[in-house]
Chains A and B, each alone.
Chain A
């Protein structure tokens, strides 16, 4: 099964961009890349997902490497509310496996 690798922690200043990396070197061609985040004392919430092309939504952007072996979640302007654990998740299209990374704890300073 494909696995993901993320840094344990990252720090950012408020209103600066944040790039959260995820390595998934064994990804298969049909695996979707999902990002979820978990704010303190809450359940995880959806951030963004993609397959091959870069994706943008109101929360973030997802940049997927051409070979799909890595991806980067981009928060364009970090706020204090973005302090959370960010999970990079692979899901194969058959839906038979959900593989979570360990997550990256993002700290945001004012």
Chain B
């Protein structure tokens, strides 16, 4: 158990819908990272938040957005869902604003299926 929790574990929805994925970082960690893992793309970094502020951005689509709340939990919002958005979404957390200052701990993931 990494200490990072993600809910829900599984999510099945239809194209065009909007969903919210939730992540609670390890106690004391200020950074939250979101990743998307699909079969053909491997692990893709989406976005990082540090202490409530956006810190780094990767290949995140405009239909996707995220935020980190004052209690440090984070939500990833996916809208206008397409079949290609079906993937495993991981959240990770670390103490500092960059990995060099500590290890990144991954949650168990949320499996999103868009039908």
Enumerate chain A interface residues (CB-CB to B < 8 A).
32, 34, 36, 38, 42-46, 49, 51, 87, 89, 91, 93-100, 102-103
Contacts and interface: CB of A to CB of B under 8 A. Distances in A.
28 contacts: A32-B99, A36-B104, A42-B108, A43-B90, A43-B92, A43-B108, A44-B90, A44-B92, A46-B104, A49-B100, A51-B100, A91-B98, A91-B99, A93-B98, A93-B100, A95-B48, A95-B50, A95-B56, A95-B97, A95-B98, A95-B99, A96-B56, A97-B56, A98-B56, A100-B43, A100-B44, A102-B42, A103-B42
Contacts of A44: 43, 90, 92, 104, 106
Interface residues on B, range: 20 to 34
B2 interface: yes
B15 interface: no
Given A43-B107, A43-B109, A49-B99, 8 more contacts: A43-B2, A44-B43, A44-B104, A45-B2, A49-B100, A95-B99, A98-B99, A100-B45
Contacts of B33: 98
